[in-house]
Amino acid sequence: MGPEPVSVDRSPLPVETPGLEVVGSALLYSHIRSRVMAFALRNSPDAAPWVPGVGRLTRLGADGKEDLIIQEIPVRMLEARLPPGASGQVVLEWHMPKDLEPQALYVLEVWNQEGNRSVRWKGLSL
Protein backbone atom coordinates (compact mmCIF):
# COMPACT_ATOMS: atom_id res chain seq x y z
CA MET A 1 0.00 0.00 0.00
CA GLY A 2 2.91 2.38 0.43
CA PRO A 3 3.80 4.99 3.03
CA GLU A 4 0.59 7.01 2.68
CA PRO A 5 -1.68 6.65 5.72
CA VAL A 6 -5.00 4.84 5.68
CA SER A 7 -7.78 6.87 7.28
CA VAL A 8 -10.81 5.35 8.97
CA ASP A 9 -14.06 7.27 9.45
CA ARG A 10 -17.46 6.38 10.83
CA SER A 11 -20.13 7.17 8.27
CA PRO A 12 -23.25 9.17 9.11
CA LEU A 13 -26.39 7.20 9.91
CA PRO A 14 -27.91 5.52 6.86
CA VAL A 15 -31.43 5.86 5.57
CA GLU A 16 -32.76 2.33 5.81
CA THR A 17 -35.42 0.47 3.93
CA PRO A 18 -38.03 -1.21 6.14
CA GLY A 19 -36.85 -4.68 7.01
CA LEU A 20 -33.14 -3.78 7.04
CA GLU A 21 -31.00 -2.36 9.82
CA VAL A 22 -27.37 -1.30 9.82
CA VAL A 23 -26.04 -2.53 13.16
CA GLY A 24 -23.61 -0.08 14.74
CA SER A 25 -21.60 2.28 12.57
CA ALA A 26 -20.39 1.72 9.04
CA LEU A 27 -16.63 2.20 8.68
CA LEU A 28 -15.11 3.90 5.67
CA TYR A 29 -11.43 3.22 4.95
CA SER A 30 -9.59 5.58 2.58
CA HIS A 31 -6.14 5.26 1.03
CA ILE A 32 -5.26 7.65 -1.81
CA ARG A 33 -8.09 6.81 -4.28
CA SER A 34 -9.05 3.41 -2.77
CA ARG A 35 -12.15 3.13 -0.58
CA VAL A 36 -13.65 0.31 1.48
CA MET A 37 -16.93 0.55 3.36
CA ALA A 38 -17.81 -2.20 5.84
CA PHE A 39 -20.92 -2.57 7.97
CA ALA A 40 -23.11 -5.18 9.67
CA LEU A 41 -26.58 -5.56 8.15
CA ARG A 42 -29.52 -7.22 9.89
CA ASN A 43 -32.51 -8.54 7.95
CA SER A 44 -35.86 -8.34 9.73
CA PRO A 45 -37.39 -11.65 10.91
CA ASP A 46 -40.49 -10.98 8.79
CA ALA A 47 -38.63 -9.90 5.62
CA ALA A 48 -37.66 -11.90 2.55
CA PRO A 49 -34.03 -13.10 2.31
CA TRP A 50 -31.62 -10.32 1.33
CA VAL A 51 -29.22 -11.31 -1.47
CA PRO A 52 -26.29 -8.91 -2.11
CA GLY A 53 -26.61 -6.95 -5.32
CA VAL A 54 -24.84 -3.76 -6.32
CA GLY A 55 -23.69 -0.55 -4.68
CA ARG A 56 -24.22 2.72 -6.51
CA LEU A 57 -22.12 5.82 -5.89
CA THR A 58 -23.73 9.08 -7.01
CA ARG A 59 -22.43 12.64 -6.77
CA LEU A 60 -24.58 15.32 -5.19
CA GLY A 61 -24.83 18.60 -7.07
CA ALA A 62 -24.57 22.08 -5.55
CA ASP A 63 -28.36 21.98 -5.02
CA GLY A 64 -28.05 18.80 -2.91
CA LYS A 65 -29.72 16.64 -5.56
CA GLU A 66 -28.16 13.56 -7.11
CA ASP A 67 -26.70 14.60 -10.45
CA LEU A 68 -24.15 12.02 -11.67
CA ILE A 69 -23.74 8.27 -11.13
CA ILE A 70 -20.01 7.80 -10.56
CA GLN A 71 -19.91 4.00 -10.55
CA GLU A 72 -21.56 0.74 -9.58
CA ILE A 73 -19.74 -1.41 -7.03
CA PRO A 74 -20.11 -5.14 -6.26
CA VAL A 75 -21.58 -5.87 -2.82
CA ARG A 76 -19.72 -8.65 -1.02
CA MET A 77 -20.64 -10.83 1.96
CA LEU A 78 -19.32 -14.15 3.22
CA GLU A 79 -22.91 -15.43 3.22
CA ALA A 80 -24.70 -15.89 -0.10
CA ARG A 81 -27.84 -14.37 1.45
CA LEU A 82 -29.24 -13.05 4.71
CA PRO A 83 -32.21 -15.19 5.74
CA PRO A 84 -35.01 -13.55 7.75
CA GLY A 85 -33.68 -12.49 11.17
CA ALA A 86 -30.02 -12.99 10.21
CA SER A 87 -27.10 -10.54 10.26
CA GLY A 88 -23.98 -10.43 8.15
CA GLN A 89 -20.96 -8.30 7.35
CA VAL A 90 -21.22 -6.31 4.09
CA VAL A 91 -18.18 -4.89 2.29
CA LEU A 92 -17.82 -2.65 -0.77
CA GLU A 93 -14.44 -1.81 -2.29
CA TRP A 94 -13.81 0.70 -5.07
CA HIS A 95 -11.39 3.25 -6.50
CA MET A 96 -12.44 6.87 -6.81
CA PRO A 97 -12.00 8.10 -10.38
CA LYS A 98 -9.48 10.85 -11.07
CA ASP A 99 -10.61 14.42 -11.69
CA LEU A 100 -13.49 14.46 -9.20
CA GLU A 101 -14.14 17.65 -7.27
CA PRO A 102 -12.35 17.31 -3.90
CA GLN A 103 -15.19 18.98 -1.96
CA ALA A 104 -18.00 16.98 -3.59
CA LEU A 105 -20.50 15.02 -1.51
CA TYR A 106 -21.90 11.63 -2.48
CA VAL A 107 -24.74 9.17 -1.96
CA LEU A 108 -23.90 5.48 -1.55
CA GLU A 109 -26.76 3.01 -2.01
CA VAL A 110 -26.36 -0.70 -1.29
CA TRP A 111 -29.04 -2.73 -3.09
CA ASN A 112 -30.19 -6.31 -2.93
CA GLN A 113 -30.07 -8.48 -6.05
CA GLU A 114 -33.71 -7.79 -6.88
CA GLY A 115 -33.14 -4.03 -6.65
CA ASN A 116 -36.09 -3.41 -4.32
CA ARG A 117 -34.41 -3.07 -0.87
CA SER A 118 -31.44 -0.95 0.05
CA VAL A 119 -29.62 1.04 2.67
CA ARG A 120 -28.38 4.46 1.69
CA TRP A 121 -25.95 7.05 2.97
CA LYS A 122 -26.31 10.66 1.82
CA GLY A 123 -23.74 13.43 2.15
CA LEU A 124 -20.60 11.31 2.26
CA SER A 125 -17.30 13.11 1.80
CA LEU A 126 -15.01 10.66 0.04
Bridge partners, 76 (sequence order): 91
Question: Looking at per-residue confidence, does 75 or 15 come out higher?
Answer: 75
Whether 124 has a pLDDT exceeding 80, the answer reads yes
- 45 in a structural domain: yes
Whether 101 has a pLDDT exceeding 90, the answer reads no
Domain of 80 in residue numbering reads as 7-124
The predicted structure's pLDDT at residue 1: 57
- 1 in a structural domain: no
Least Cα distance to 11 among 108, 110, 88 occurs for 108
What's the rounded Cα separation, in Å, for the pair 105 and 66?
A: 10
The predicted structure's pLDDT at residue 17: 81
Half-sphere exposure of 53 (CA within 13 A, CB side): 16
- 71 in a structural domain: yes
What's the rounded Cα separation, in Å, for the pair 14 and 80?
A: 23
Whether 87 has a pLDDT exceeding 70, the answer reads yes
Q: How many domains does the chain have?
A: 1
What would the mean pLDDT of 69-90 be, rounded to a whole number? 97
Q: CATH no. for residue 118?
A: 2.60.40.770
